[in-house]
Chains A and B, each alone.
Chain A
């Protein structure tokens, strides 16, 4: 009788945990699942389900160490009781968790185990899910190896190998989910495949994938996914050199961010638009969007974003010859870089302040037209005047790195 009551109590607690997690309240869900474990159960299938859900709840709460702990318990348990399908699921979840923790080699082993089991039992849905996870692990691995300012398509071979593997797994997944007619799964895969092609430097393929993602997001009325697709499309069009088209996509992404009331992504869209208009040399519009970005960054107390906005605003004002305004933002940029310990940013800011001091010093002894003439001369005669030419050559370098295709194409 006592054991029966104990079992009921464990089940009841677990069921309540499930209900709460389904409703998105993972914090409360965790409490109920942990209480259920405290009470205990002799039913190992129930225990496996509790471990698994605790792992997922911690995953959603971004506590990946705890998630790892519980998915490991689940894996050990399912292996012990010989629950093959349970082991496949535990391996999949463990793989996803190890991926987030940057332990890619272990994650690959888990993904392979997941895939092997579901292939063995000819579970098509399971195979598709395992392939998607596999693709995600290789994508994350590729991205983690090298991110030191290199441009998409121009990474070390090790990175490219991982990204190509990711694309292969996504393609294999797509073949199955198309056959199954699972549109939601197709949408997710197209999104990540698009980002993989983007990093591989296949920008046209990236656009094709994100176009599909967008179509499916619209089918489902999934506005978050729609916004993501517009943003990713904007990024790809930048590298194709179609800045106008990129701007249109970023604007749609901005509209959706506002509808969704997501301030952080609204700020990101404004920042992307500011940069796009800089590339279009429409500095007034660039300033407008960078100011919008600045205001949100300040509201959200995002000092790094604020610093970035000041740096961009300084550059745009310099391009327009508003040296007083440029100085204001360059000084603010310097102050923020010092505060956030951004040494590289601090160096850039110091150079900008010093350049602007020279220009502003000049403007007291000469009129504005002479000043802008000097600027043009400096621009043409690289290195004739170190300070001014440095600033201009730096800006050119940025544009070249951002848009190699466009720049080469224009010349």
Chain B
């Protein structure tokens, strides 16, 4: 009824107003793997072994 509607609408109002997302979050940090790093290391390794040989 009316009373229920009142409680509902005010609840929506307050939850929507200032904290719709509970604050703006910082970005995630993803772990990074790289082919070029690995390739450089591998390449360096083979150069070194060639020099040694």
Contact = CB atoms under 8 A, between A and B. Distances in A.
Interface of A: 11, 14-15, 18, 45-46, 48-50, 52-53, 56, 59, 74, 86, 88-90, 92-93, 96, 129, 132-133, 136, 139, 143, 147-152, 185, 187-189, 191-192, 194-195, 198-199, 225, 228, 231-232, 234-235, 238-239, 272, 275, 308, 344-345, 347-348, 351, 386, 390, 393-394, 397-398, 401-402
A53 B39 CA distance: 15
B28 A136 contact: yes
Nearest to A235: B18
B29 interface: yes
Given A46-B38, A49-B38, A148-B11, A308 B31 contact: no
B33 interface: yes
Contacts of B24: 191, 195, 228, 231-232
A180 to B, nearest CB: 14
Main secondary structure of the interface of A (DSSP, over half): helix
20 contacts: A15-B39, A46-B39, A49-B34, A49-B38, A53-B35, A56-B30, A56-B32, A93-B30, A147-B15, A148-B11, A152-B19, A191-B25, A195-B22, A235-B18, A308-B16, A351-B2, A351-B6, A397-B7, A401-B11, A402-B17
Contact of B33 (A86, A185, A345): A86
Nearest to A150: B15
Interface residues of B, number: 33
Contacts, number: 138
Contacts of B7: 397
B30 A59 contact: yes
A56 B15 CA distance: 33
Nearest to B7: A397
A52 B23 contact: no
A393 B6 contact: yes
The winner among A48, A225, A397 for most chain B CB atoms within 10 A is A397
Interface of B: 2, 5-19, 22-36, 38-39
Given A147-B15, A198-B19, A228-B24, A18 B35 contact: yes
Given A93-B31, A188-B26, A228-B26, A148 B15 contact: yes
Contact of B31 (A46, A129, A351): A129
Main secondary structure of the interface of B (DSSP, over half): helix
A272 B38 CA distance: 48
Nearest to B28: A96
Given A14-B35, A50-B35, A56-B32, A192 B10 contact: no
Given A11-B35, A49-B38, A232-B23, A96 B15 contact: no
Given A18-B36, A93-B31, A394 B22 contact: no
A345 B35 contact: no
A189 B12 CA distance: 30
